[in-house]
Amino acid sequence: MEKTLFLILSAVAIIGALVTVTRKNPLGSAIGLIVTFVALSGLYFTSDAPFVGALQVLVYAGAIMVLVVFVIMLLNLPEGELEEEKIPPRSWALAFFSVVPLGFLCIAQILSTKFEDKEPVGEGFGSVKAVGQLLFGDYLLQFEVVSLLLLVAIVGAIVMAKKRL
Amino acid sequence: MQTQAYLVVATLIFLIGAMGFLIRRNILVLFMSIELMLNGAAMLFVTFSRQLRQMDGHVFVFFIIALAAAEAAVGLSILIAIFRLKHRVNVDELTELKG
Protein backbone atom coordinates (compact mmCIF):
# COMPACT_ATOMS: atom_id res chain seq x y z
CA MET A 1 0.00 0.00 0.00
CA GLU A 2 2.68 2.45 1.04
CA LYS A 3 4.79 1.43 -1.94
CA THR A 4 1.92 2.00 -4.40
CA LEU A 5 1.26 5.41 -2.85
CA PHE A 6 4.95 6.30 -3.16
CA LEU A 7 5.07 5.20 -6.81
CA ILE A 8 1.95 7.19 -7.75
CA LEU A 9 3.06 10.34 -5.89
CA SER A 10 6.61 10.28 -7.24
CA ALA A 11 5.40 9.66 -10.80
CA VAL A 12 2.98 12.61 -10.51
CA ALA A 13 5.74 14.81 -9.06
CA ILE A 14 8.22 14.00 -11.84
CA ILE A 15 5.64 14.34 -14.62
CA GLY A 16 4.57 17.69 -13.15
CA ALA A 17 8.20 18.82 -13.10
CA LEU A 18 8.66 17.78 -16.74
CA VAL A 19 5.47 19.66 -17.70
CA THR A 20 6.83 22.72 -15.87
CA VAL A 21 10.03 22.92 -17.90
CA THR A 22 8.56 21.93 -21.29
CA ARG A 23 5.40 24.06 -21.68
CA LYS A 24 5.62 27.04 -24.00
CA ASN A 25 2.92 28.94 -22.11
CA PRO A 26 4.06 29.95 -18.58
CA LEU A 27 0.54 29.33 -17.28
CA GLY A 28 0.84 25.65 -18.21
CA SER A 29 4.20 25.58 -16.43
CA ALA A 30 2.59 27.06 -13.32
CA ILE A 31 -0.15 24.40 -13.31
CA GLY A 32 2.49 21.65 -13.65
CA LEU A 33 4.43 23.21 -10.79
CA ILE A 34 1.33 23.23 -8.54
CA VAL A 35 0.77 19.52 -9.30
CA THR A 36 4.42 18.82 -8.39
CA PHE A 37 4.10 20.73 -5.12
CA VAL A 38 0.96 18.85 -4.08
CA ALA A 39 2.52 15.48 -4.94
CA LEU A 40 5.66 16.43 -2.99
CA SER A 41 3.48 17.34 -0.05
CA GLY A 42 2.05 13.80 -0.19
CA LEU A 43 5.59 12.42 -0.23
CA TYR A 44 6.37 14.49 2.88
CA PHE A 45 3.36 12.97 4.64
CA THR A 46 4.48 9.44 3.73
CA SER A 47 8.00 10.14 5.00
CA ASP A 48 6.77 11.15 8.47
CA ALA A 49 6.88 14.93 8.09
CA PRO A 50 3.24 16.06 8.48
CA PHE A 51 4.17 19.61 9.54
CA VAL A 52 6.35 20.16 6.50
CA GLY A 53 3.72 18.58 4.25
CA ALA A 54 1.05 20.96 5.52
CA LEU A 55 3.44 23.90 5.15
CA GLN A 56 4.17 22.84 1.56
CA VAL A 57 0.49 23.00 0.60
CA LEU A 58 -0.23 26.20 2.52
CA VAL A 59 2.79 28.30 1.56
CA TYR A 60 4.08 26.79 -1.69
CA ALA A 61 1.01 25.50 -3.52
CA GLY A 62 -1.10 28.20 -1.91
CA ALA A 63 0.65 31.51 -1.41
CA ILE A 64 3.68 31.40 -3.73
CA MET A 65 1.89 29.85 -6.69
CA VAL A 66 -1.05 32.25 -6.35
CA LEU A 67 1.49 35.07 -6.60
CA VAL A 68 3.14 33.48 -9.68
CA VAL A 69 -0.17 32.86 -11.47
CA PHE A 70 -1.28 36.39 -10.56
CA VAL A 71 1.88 37.86 -12.13
CA ILE A 72 1.52 35.71 -15.26
CA MET A 73 -2.05 36.94 -15.69
CA LEU A 74 -1.00 40.53 -14.93
CA LEU A 75 1.77 40.55 -17.54
CA ASN A 76 -0.68 39.23 -20.17
CA LEU A 77 2.11 38.18 -22.55
CA PRO A 78 1.55 38.92 -26.24
CA GLU A 79 1.22 35.82 -28.45
CA GLY A 80 4.37 36.57 -30.42
CA GLU A 81 6.47 36.63 -27.28
CA LEU A 82 5.65 32.98 -26.60
CA GLU A 83 6.41 31.80 -30.13
CA GLU A 84 9.89 33.19 -30.55
CA GLU A 85 11.68 31.35 -27.75
CA LYS A 86 14.75 30.11 -29.59
CA ILE A 87 17.14 27.92 -27.62
CA PRO A 88 20.75 28.43 -28.75
CA PRO A 89 22.86 25.25 -29.25
CA ARG A 90 25.29 26.34 -26.55
CA SER A 91 22.44 26.11 -24.02
CA TRP A 92 21.79 22.50 -24.98
CA ALA A 93 25.52 21.72 -24.79
CA LEU A 94 25.90 23.45 -21.42
CA ALA A 95 22.84 21.68 -20.00
CA PHE A 96 23.89 18.30 -21.37
CA PHE A 97 27.50 18.43 -20.22
CA SER A 98 26.69 19.77 -16.74
CA VAL A 99 23.38 18.21 -15.70
CA VAL A 100 23.80 14.70 -17.12
CA PRO A 101 27.17 13.95 -15.44
CA LEU A 102 25.90 15.51 -12.21
CA GLY A 103 22.79 13.33 -12.27
CA PHE A 104 24.80 10.24 -13.13
CA LEU A 105 27.19 10.85 -10.22
CA CYS A 106 24.41 11.62 -7.71
CA ILE A 107 22.22 8.65 -8.61
CA ALA A 108 25.14 6.20 -8.80
CA GLN A 109 26.27 7.39 -5.37
CA ILE A 110 22.77 7.05 -3.90
CA LEU A 111 22.27 3.55 -5.31
CA SER A 112 25.67 2.34 -4.11
CA THR A 113 25.16 3.59 -0.53
CA LYS A 114 23.70 1.16 1.98
CA PHE A 115 21.13 2.85 4.25
CA GLU A 116 20.35 0.70 7.29
CA ASP A 117 16.67 0.15 7.94
CA LYS A 118 15.71 1.34 11.38
CA GLU A 119 12.67 0.69 13.53
CA PRO A 120 9.56 2.84 12.85
CA VAL A 121 9.83 6.47 13.99
CA GLY A 122 8.57 7.32 17.45
CA GLU A 123 5.21 8.88 18.31
CA GLY A 124 4.95 12.53 17.28
CA PHE A 125 7.94 12.56 14.92
CA GLY A 126 7.64 15.58 12.65
CA SER A 127 4.47 16.83 14.32
CA VAL A 128 3.79 20.54 14.77
CA LYS A 129 4.61 20.29 18.48
CA ALA A 130 7.93 18.51 18.04
CA VAL A 131 9.17 20.71 15.17
CA GLY A 132 7.90 23.81 16.95
CA GLN A 133 9.84 22.97 20.10
CA LEU A 134 12.99 22.55 18.01
CA LEU A 135 12.28 25.75 16.06
CA PHE A 136 11.74 27.90 19.15
CA GLY A 137 14.48 26.16 21.13
CA ASP A 138 17.70 25.37 19.29
CA TYR A 139 16.87 27.46 16.20
CA LEU A 140 15.36 30.54 17.85
CA LEU A 141 18.01 32.98 16.56
CA GLN A 142 17.74 31.64 13.01
CA PHE A 143 13.94 31.92 13.22
CA GLU A 144 14.23 35.58 14.15
CA VAL A 145 16.69 36.19 11.30
CA VAL A 146 14.11 34.68 8.92
CA SER A 147 11.58 37.27 10.09
CA LEU A 148 14.14 39.98 9.26
CA LEU A 149 14.65 38.41 5.81
CA LEU A 150 10.91 38.51 5.14
CA LEU A 151 10.74 42.16 6.24
CA VAL A 152 13.57 43.06 3.83
CA ALA A 153 11.80 41.11 1.07
CA ILE A 154 8.56 43.04 1.65
CA VAL A 155 10.40 46.39 1.47
CA GLY A 156 12.35 45.25 -1.61
CA ALA A 157 9.23 44.07 -3.40
CA ILE A 158 7.43 47.36 -2.79
CA VAL A 159 10.42 49.44 -3.91
CA MET A 160 10.89 47.35 -7.06
CA ALA A 161 7.27 47.29 -8.16
CA LYS A 162 6.55 50.98 -7.51
CA LYS A 163 6.18 53.19 -10.55
CA ARG A 164 8.45 55.88 -9.13
CA LEU A 165 10.34 56.21 -5.86
CA MET B 1 15.50 0.75 0.14
CA GLN B 2 12.83 3.32 0.98
CA THR B 3 15.40 6.06 1.68
CA GLN B 4 17.12 5.38 -1.62
CA ALA B 5 13.86 5.66 -3.58
CA TYR B 6 13.04 9.01 -1.95
CA LEU B 7 16.55 10.30 -2.60
CA VAL B 8 16.36 9.32 -6.28
CA VAL B 9 13.02 11.15 -6.69
CA ALA B 10 14.42 14.26 -4.99
CA THR B 11 17.54 14.18 -7.18
CA LEU B 12 15.45 13.77 -10.34
CA ILE B 13 13.30 16.77 -9.44
CA PHE B 14 16.42 18.86 -8.77
CA LEU B 15 17.96 17.78 -12.09
CA ILE B 16 14.80 18.56 -14.07
CA GLY B 17 14.79 22.00 -12.47
CA ALA B 18 18.47 22.54 -13.32
CA MET B 19 17.90 21.37 -16.90
CA GLY B 20 14.95 23.74 -17.29
CA PHE B 21 16.95 26.62 -15.85
CA LEU B 22 19.79 26.12 -18.33
CA ILE B 23 17.67 25.46 -21.43
CA ARG B 24 14.61 27.71 -21.21
CA ARG B 25 14.69 31.41 -22.13
CA ASN B 26 11.40 32.64 -20.64
CA ILE B 27 12.16 34.42 -17.37
CA LEU B 28 8.94 33.16 -15.74
CA VAL B 29 9.86 29.54 -16.48
CA LEU B 30 13.39 30.15 -15.16
CA PHE B 31 11.82 31.38 -11.94
CA MET B 32 9.69 28.24 -11.67
CA SER B 33 12.73 26.05 -12.37
CA ILE B 34 14.44 27.62 -9.35
CA GLU B 35 11.40 26.69 -7.26
CA LEU B 36 11.72 23.10 -8.52
CA MET B 37 15.38 22.96 -7.48
CA LEU B 38 14.54 24.34 -4.03
CA ASN B 39 11.89 21.64 -3.66
CA GLY B 40 14.32 18.89 -4.62
CA ALA B 41 16.69 20.12 -1.92
CA ALA B 42 13.86 20.27 0.63
CA MET B 43 12.88 16.70 -0.20
CA LEU B 44 16.48 15.59 0.47
CA PHE B 45 16.37 17.29 3.88
CA VAL B 46 13.12 15.52 4.83
CA THR B 47 14.41 12.13 3.65
CA PHE B 48 17.66 12.35 5.60
CA SER B 49 15.73 13.68 8.58
CA ARG B 50 13.75 10.45 8.60
CA GLN B 51 16.81 8.28 7.99
CA LEU B 52 18.76 9.87 10.88
CA ARG B 53 15.70 10.10 13.19
CA GLN B 54 16.38 13.81 13.83
CA MET B 55 13.93 16.61 13.10
CA ASP B 56 16.52 19.29 12.30
CA GLY B 57 15.88 18.67 8.61
CA HIS B 58 12.24 19.72 9.03
CA VAL B 59 13.38 23.04 10.52
CA PHE B 60 15.65 23.56 7.53
CA VAL B 61 12.73 22.91 5.16
CA PHE B 62 10.82 25.58 7.07
CA PHE B 63 13.70 27.99 6.36
CA ILE B 64 13.80 26.94 2.68
CA ILE B 65 10.08 27.67 2.31
CA ALA B 66 10.47 31.08 3.99
CA LEU B 67 13.39 31.84 1.66
CA ALA B 68 11.37 30.77 -1.39
CA ALA B 69 8.54 33.07 -0.34
CA ALA B 70 10.94 36.03 0.01
CA GLU B 71 12.54 35.17 -3.32
CA ALA B 72 9.14 34.94 -5.03
CA ALA B 73 8.10 38.37 -3.74
CA VAL B 74 11.31 40.17 -4.76
CA GLY B 75 11.85 38.20 -8.00
CA LEU B 76 8.34 38.73 -9.30
CA SER B 77 8.37 42.45 -8.50
CA ILE B 78 11.69 42.80 -10.39
CA LEU B 79 10.05 40.90 -13.24
CA ILE B 80 7.08 43.30 -13.29
CA ALA B 81 9.47 46.27 -13.30
CA ILE B 82 11.46 44.80 -16.22
CA PHE B 83 8.32 43.99 -18.18
CA ARG B 84 6.95 47.49 -17.65
CA LEU B 85 10.20 48.92 -19.04
CA LYS B 86 10.95 46.54 -21.94
CA HIS B 87 7.80 44.47 -22.66
CA ARG B 88 10.02 41.40 -23.01
CA VAL B 89 10.34 38.19 -20.97
CA ASN B 90 13.12 36.55 -23.01
CA VAL B 91 16.37 36.62 -21.02
CA ASP B 92 18.51 36.82 -24.18
CA GLU B 93 16.98 40.21 -24.96
CA LEU B 94 17.50 41.60 -21.45
CA THR B 95 21.16 42.61 -21.65
CA GLU B 96 21.20 46.01 -19.91
CA LEU B 97 23.62 44.83 -17.22
CA LYS B 98 26.10 43.39 -19.71
CA GLY B 99 29.40 45.27 -19.44
What was the ipTM of the complex prediction?
A: 0.92
User: Which among B29, B66, B68 has CB closest to A26?
Assistant: B29
Asked whether residue B98 is domain-assigned, the answer is no
Whether the predicted pLDDT of A140 surpasses 90: yes
Domain-embedded: residue A113: no
Q: Tens-of-pLDDT digits for all 99 residues of chain B?
A: 688 999 999 999 999 999 999 998 888 999 999 999 999 999 999 999 999 888 999 999 999 999 999 999 999 999 988 888 888 888 888 888 877
Q: Could you tell me the residue range of the domain that residue B40 belongs to? A: 2-91
User: Which of A77, A102, A136 marks a domain boundary?
Assistant: A77
pLDDT in tens, B52-78: 888 999 999 999 999 999 999 999 999
CATH of the domain at A48: 1.20.120.1200
Kindly report which listed range (A16-20, A50-54, A78-82, B54-58) carries the lowest average pLDDT score: A78-82
Per the structure, how many domains does chain A have? 2
Q: How far apart are CA B72 and CA B76, in angstroms?
A: 6
Residue A81: the pLDDT is 66
Contact residues on chain A for B18, CB-CB shorter than 8 A: 95, 98-99, 102
Give pLDDT, residue A163: 74
**CA pair distance B43, B53, nearest whole angstrom:** 15
Which residue among B53, B62, B89 sits closest to A121, beta carbon to beta carbon?
Answer: B53
Q: How many domains does chain B have?
A: 1
Alpha carbon dihedral B97, B25, A150, A33, in 10-degree steps, equals: 180
B31-to-A20, A68, B22, B42 alpha-carbon distances in Å: 11, 9, 11, 17
The C-alpha of B94 sits at a distance from chain A's nearest C-alpha, in angstroms, of: 13
Q: Which residues of B touch A91 (CB under 8 A)?
A: 22-23, 25
User: Domain span at residue A31?
Assistant: 1-77
* Inter-axis angle of helices B2-23 and B27-52, nearest 10: 160
Is residue B74 included in any domain, yes or no?
A: yes
Chain B, window 5-34: residues with a beta carbon less than 8 angstroms from a chain A beta carbon: 5-9, 11-13, 15-20, 22-26, 28-29, 31-33
Across all residues in chain A, what is the average pLDDT?
89
The whole-angstrom separation of Cα A156 and Cα B37 is 23
Q: Is A120 helix (H, G, I), strand (E, B) or coil?
A: coil
